[in-house]
Amino acid sequence: MQLVFASNNPNKIKEIQLLLPNTLQILSLEDVGCLEEIPETAPTIEGNAIQKANYITEKYGYPCFADDTGLEVEALNGEPGVYSARYAGEQKNADDNMAKLLHNLSNKTNRKAQFKTVICLNLNGNQHLFEGIIKGEIIPEKRGSAGFGYDPIFVPTGYDKTFAEMPIGEKSKISHRGLAVEKLIAFLTH
């Protein structure tokens, strides 16, 4: 089975392809000729995942799944949330985003946070949502060089390493995206 994954993020595509059985082949947006920016204008993480999947299904006619992920920090009323990628501006720079987040948390003692991924699957005329959440906390300084996004400052509950200090295989097993993808795979392989 071929499914389009509505993402131009090579890190995400690689992470998800590693989790999928060989019977499922992931096509990138480039593979289907989608070179334009897909709108992400919904006010929620769920809404963005749905918007991206619908865009590909409606415009290109492929079965498709799309994800959206946000980091939700308790002391900041759930920020950056749906704005995680562009928290420090439209340049979508991970270092700028982490710097802004650490600055906004500098006088807070509560550092609890969670990563939330929602996957929207459009298949055979039906739409399905899968959610993955991992709780943890934001540490005051970056550690590790693997991963992407906020990984260097997020330590999942029960671990002493940031996502950026974990090998991709370990991170994928416990991460928000990994949990959502597990639910997607269970659905697709039944």
Looking at the annotation, which residues are catalytic?
68
Q: What kind and span of H or E run contains 1?
A: none
Q: Match 């991206």 to its residue by tokens.
A: 52
**The tokens of 58 are what?**
């409606």
How far is Cα 100 from Cα 1, in angstroms, rounded to an integer?
42
- How far is the CA of 129 from the CAs of 25, 53, 147, 157, in angstroms? 20, 11, 25, 25
Long-range contacts of 98-103 (CB under 8 A, 24+ apart): 98/142, 98/150, 98/152, 98/153, 101/71, 101/73, 101/76, 101/138, 101/150, 101/153, 102/138, 102/140, 102/141, 102/153
CB 19 within 8 A of CB 13: no
Taking CA 63 as the corner, what is the angle to CA 59 and CA 66, rounded to the nearest 5 degrees? 80
